[in-house]
Amino acid sequence: MDVADEGRDKNAFSTRHGFLLENVREWSGVGSDIYQSVEKVFGFCEQDNLEEFRFDEDGLGAGVRGDARAINELRNVARRPSILATPFRGSGAVFDPDDEAVRGDNGQAARLNKDFFANAKAQSWWRLRKLFQNTWRAVAEGMAYNPDEIISISSSMALKDKLIIELSQPTYSINGVGKIVIDKQPDGTRSPNLADSVMINYAPMNSALNIWELLGRQA
Mean pLDDT in runs of 10 for the chain (219 residues)? 81 96 90 85 96 94 94 97 96 95 83 96 98 98 96 97 97 96 87 96 75 46
- 200 belongs to a structural domain: yes
Considering its fold, how many domains does the chain have in total?
1
Instruction: Give backbone dihedrals phi and psi of 130, rounded to 5 degrees, phi first.
Output: -65, -40
* Residue 1 located in a structural domain: no
Is residue 205 domain-resident?
Answer: yes
Q: Is residue 3 part of a domain?
A: no
Other C-beta atoms within 10 Å of 155: how many?
A: 6
CATH code: domain of residue 177: 3.30.420.240
pLDDT of residue 148: 94
Domain that holds residue 197: 11-218
Look at residue 33 in the predicted model and tell me its pLDDT.
Answer: 81
- 96 class by beta-carbon count within 10 Å (0-12 exposed, 13-18 middle, 19+ buried): middle
Closest alpha carbon to 123 in 133, 131, 115, 113: 113
5 within domain boundaries: no
Residue 40 lies in a domain: yes
Contact at 8 Å (CB) between 181 and 174?
Answer: yes
Say if 2 falls within a structural domain.
no
pTM (predicted TM-score): 0.90
Instruction: Provide the strand spans (E) within the chain.
Output: 11-17, 20-27, 52-56, 84-88, 100-102, 111-112, 152-153, 171-174, 180-183
What pLDDT sits at residue 32? 60
Q: In this predicted structure, what is the pLDDT of residue 217?
A: 46
Asked, for residue 214, whether it belongs to a domain, the answer is: yes
Query: What is the DSSP annotation of 135-158?
Result: HHHHHHH-----GGG--EE-TT-T
